Amino acid sequence: MVHLDALKLNSCRAAAFGAMAIGAVAFSGSAAASPLPLFPFILTPPAQSAPPQVQAAPPEQEHGAFEMPARLKRQVVSYPTHEAPGTIIIDTPNTYLYYVIGGGQAIRYGIGVGRDGFTWSGTQSITRKAEWPDWTPPPEMIARQPYLPRYMAGGPGNPLGARAMYLGGTVYRIHGTNAPETIGTHVSSGCIRLTNADVSDLYARVNVGTKVIVLPMDRHAENPAGKRS
């Protein structure tokens, strides 16, 4: 009887041990798949997915370079005149500047001239030359346009552009411009403007004392003798 009870007790122990072994195996498998935290009382923030990549804004479309009309581009043309080589003649109505080179020829530049009511004519000479000139608008211009600056240092943003040639004791100049699209128009307050490239070319050719003839609106440089066209 005692032997039978011992056998039953050993069977129960074996079953219990087997159950524990199976449980341990199952637990170890789940732990391997999802390990328990070392310190379960410390809350770990949930993993965040990477933010979507932000696309760069497309570059702004660049404005194309201004294309000067062919007639306003600097060029050597036939130009018979009695004026001496080195003379400048301003053809106001046709918006041309002629630099006489002799032999019946001249270099012709496209220019911008005075708007209606601001054209002028006469003979002057270049009294001063300046590279990247400063700009001090005269009192008459300030009176008409009080929003203008009283002074602007020379540079690419200056409306006088890269070069300036001052005419006699007047307020007028032959100068460059940072607005090449105004060449060929009547837009200024009386000054003669060229592109920065053209005014730099002209500047290198002339000297202080160069004669400058500004023709009125009713005369053309093709008729230097003064005949009406």
The two three-digit tokens of residue 210, written as one number: 């160069």
Helix, strand, coil content of the chain in percent (nearest 5) = 25, 25, 55
Convert the pLDDT of each residue in 78-100 to its tens digit: 999 999 999 999 999 999 999 99
Give the start-end residues of each E strand in the chain.
Answer: 75-78, 88-91, 96-102, 105-110, 113-114, 122-131, 163-167, 173-175, 186-188, 192-193, 211-214
Q: Model confidence over 20-79: pLDDT tens digits?
A: 444 444 444 444 444 544 444 445 555 554 544 433 333 333 335 779 999 999 999 999
Q: What is the pTM of this model?
A: 0.67
Task: Share the mean pLDDT of the chain.
Answer: 78
Q: Which residues are catalytic?
A: 175, 191
